[in-house]
């Protein structure tokens, strides 16, 4: 038995907590034995004093063990999970899962719903008529073994400690603490049952981490946690100063995923999906060289195997696979309006956060957890940084179901684009790759 004020004082003064002390705090808080005011004081002490890698690993494991631990041992082969720290038009998971499964990677993916300006994979998939994301553990495993991939919603029993702690962090100004962010993300990944983990840590205006240096620190922390927890982990640090893909919104991102799997997507979304797909192939032992793996993934797209795998996954999860060919089967917005440029030039910058918030307020995201999603609304970009803008070519297209919101959104979208009369270089997408052994900058 420990005395909570002494543990708070110890961390406040810069001391190191033992595994037993951290476990006691997490378990006691989840059981309701430690009140919010004491845990809030502890979180603030961590915010100012930090944690070393052993402490943050134990915090992560204690959080992971606070609820259900998914057992994927019945899934054949090595299971690799991928997590993104969140961004705008981040459709990577929708492309990556069928693409990786089409070359033999087994993907058992548990995803969440969106909150705020970043979309949730489950919300996007529920744009597809009939698509199911809730099923028993046995059916989930059966689907992965049968099709190669399955995407399910996170159980309410998965990492209850994170739900309680995040809610407390949100109202105590302790959200942006790297040990607390890292333990929140990694506890869910470890509880999710994967053998190995790929992380996409984004930085920029549209990301949680605004600075590259902070994103690198977070990525390194999570890689250390994963490896200390026996889950080999690789992290990429990627740009989110502008949207990743061209589509922001649920049904729109299903369309973009299908187009990318057919070889017609934007190069940024395609290249990131190929990079992560190649990493998954190497981690799962299917390939030993990342460049050869990319060639196989590209061939899967060219041959049509990738889009067929997408249809197979949709069908197996109760959805209509024809949506991958006939986009009119997806939810349709009442209004579609183009935002035309007032001048010619090159796109110098795109305010990803403004676009993400605009799409959210149109109904594509949630401001509160119980908000209802409108799957049909969103924004489709006409170009990205470095692209030429000409009269008659839209900067973006806005999809809406409310005429008043549409008028407001058109102005917001226009404000998000900054043009230059001079040619502008395209932005670098991948900045670093971090493993337990080293960090490679691009």
pLDDT in tens, 139-160: 999 999 999 999 988 777 889 9
The residue-averaged pLDDT of 233-249 equals 96
What is the C-alpha separation between 252 and 374, in angstroms, rounded? Answer: 11
Active-site residue, 169 included: yes
Statement: residue 215 has pLDDT above 80: yes
Given the DSSP bridges, would you call strands 430-434 and 439-441 parallel, antiparallel or unpaired? antiparallel
For residues 106-120, average pLDDT: 72
Q: Which of 10, 11, 23, 83 is catalytic?
A: 83
Give the helix/strand (H/E) hosting 82.
strand 80-84
Choice among 117-126, 153-162, 169-178, 187-196 with the minimum mean pLDDT: 117-126
CA distance 218 to 146: 36
162 noted as active-site residue: yes
Angle at 150 between CA 149 and CA 152, to 5 degrees: 155
For residue 115, pLDDT over 60 is answered with no
Q: How many CA atoms lie within 13 A of 242 on its CB side?
A: 24
Residue 137 known to be catalytic: no
Instruction: Determine how many CB atoms are found less than 10 A away from the CB of residue 298.
Output: 17
Active-site residue, from 10, 11, 124, 188:
188
Phi-psi region of 125 (alpha: psi -120 to 50; beta: other; left: phi over 0): alpha
Contacts of residues 216-221 at CB distance under 8 Å and 24 or more positions apart, as own/partner, are 216/432, 216/434, 216/439, 217/178, 218/85, 218/178, 218/181, 218/182, 219/432, 219/434, 220/434, 220/439, 221/53, 221/56, 221/178, 221/179, 221/182
Residue 119 clears pLDDT 80, i.e. is over it:
no
Domain spanning 331-420: CATH 3.40.50.12500: no
Considering the candidates 184, 273, 284, 376, report the single residue annotated as catalytic: 184
- 83 catalytic per annotation: yes
Q: Are 131 and 124 in contact (CB under 8 A)?
A: no
Residue 117 has pLDDT above 70, yes or no: no
Q: Is 82 a catalytic residue?
A: no
Do 111 and 158 contact (CB within 8 A), yes or no? no
Tell me how far apart the terminal alpha carbons of the chain are, to the nearest angstrom: 50
Burial class, 20, CB count within 10 angstroms (exposed 0-12 / middle 13-18 / buried 19+)? exposed
Of 114-128, 133-147, 341-355, the range with the lowest mean pLDDT is: 114-128
Residue 399 β-bridge partners? 336, 378
Using one digit for the tens of pLDDT, what is the confidence trace for 385-437? Answer: 999 999 889 999 999 999 999 999 999 999 999 999 999 999 999 999 999 99
Torsion angle, CA of 4/28/227/221, rounded to 10 degrees?
-50
pLDDT for 44-97, tens place per residue?
999 999 999 999 999 999 999 999 898 899 998 899 999 988 789 899 999 999
Do domains 4-50 and 331-420 share one topology? The answer is no
Of the listed 81, 162, 214, 374, which one is catalytic?
162
Looking at domain 80-324+431-435, which of 3.40.47.10, 3.40.1030.10, 3.50.50.60, 3.20.20.140 is its CATH number?
A: 3.40.1030.10
Q: In the chain, where are the structural domains located? A: 4-50, 80-324+431-435, 331-420
Q: Is 232 exposed, middle or buried (0-12, 13-18, 19+ CB in 10 A)?
A: middle
The phi and psi torsions of 299 (rounded to 5 degrees) equal -65, -35
Are the beta carbons of 397 and 211 closer than 8 angstroms? no
CATH topology of domain 4-50: 1.20.970
Q: What is the CA radius of gyration of the chain?
A: 22
- pTM as predicted: 0.92
């Amino acid at each position: 038995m420990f005395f909570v004020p002494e543990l708070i004082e110890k961390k406040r003064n810069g001391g190191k907590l033992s595994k037993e002390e951290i476990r006691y705090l997490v378990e006691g808080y989840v059981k309701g034995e430690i009140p919010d005011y004491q845990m809030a004081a502890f979180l603030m002490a961590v915010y100012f004093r930090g944690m070393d890698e052993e402490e943050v690993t134990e915090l992560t494991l204690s959080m992971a063990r606070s609820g259900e631990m998914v057992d994927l041992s019945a899934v054949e082969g090595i299971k690799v999970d991928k997590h993104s720290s969140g961004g705008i038009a981040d459709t990577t998971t929708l492309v990556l899962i069928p693409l990786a499964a089409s070359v033999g990677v087994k993907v058992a993916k548990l995803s969440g719903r969106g909150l705020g300006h970043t979309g949730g994979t489950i919300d996007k998939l529920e744009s597809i008529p009939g698509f199911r994301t809730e099923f028993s553990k046995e059916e989930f495993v059966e689907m992965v073994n049968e099709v190669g991939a399955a995407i399910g919603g996170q159980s309410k029993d998965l990492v209850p400690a994170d739900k309680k702690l995040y809610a407390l962090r949100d109202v105590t100004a302790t959200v942006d603490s790297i040990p607390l962010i890292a333990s929140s993300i990694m506890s869910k990944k470890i509880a999710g049952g994967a053998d190995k983990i790929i992380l996409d840590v984004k930085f920029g205006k549209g990301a949680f981490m605004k600075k590259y240096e902070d994103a690198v620190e977070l990525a390194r922390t999570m890689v250390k946690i994963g490896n200390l927890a026996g889950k080999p982990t690789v992290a990429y640090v990627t740009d989110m100063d502008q949207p990743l893909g061209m589509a922001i919104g649920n049904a729109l991102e299903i369309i973009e995923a299908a187009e990318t799997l057919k070889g017609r997507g934007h190069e940024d979304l395609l290249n990131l999906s190929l990079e992560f797909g190649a990493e998954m192939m190497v981690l799962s032992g299917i390939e030993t060289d990342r460049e050869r793996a990319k060639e196989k993934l590209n061939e899967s797209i060219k041959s049509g195997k990738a889009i067929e795998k997408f249809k197979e996954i949709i069908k197996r999860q109760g959805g209509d696979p024809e949506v991958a060919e006939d986009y009119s089967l997806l939810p349709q917005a009442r209004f579609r309006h183009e935002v035309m440029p007032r001048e010619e030039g090159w796109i110098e910058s795109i305010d990803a956060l403004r676009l993400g918030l605009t799409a959210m307020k149109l109904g594509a995201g949630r401001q509160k957890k119980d908000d209802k999603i409108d799957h049909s609304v969103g924004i489709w970009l006409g170009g990205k940084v470095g692209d030429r803008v000409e009269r008659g070519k839209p900067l973006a297209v806005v999809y809406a179901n409310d005429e008043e919101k549409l008028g407001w959104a058109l102005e917001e979208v226009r404000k998000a684009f900054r043009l230059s009369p001079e040619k502008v270089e395209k932005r670098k997408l991948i900045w670093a790759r971090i493993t337990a052994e080293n960090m490679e900058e691009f």
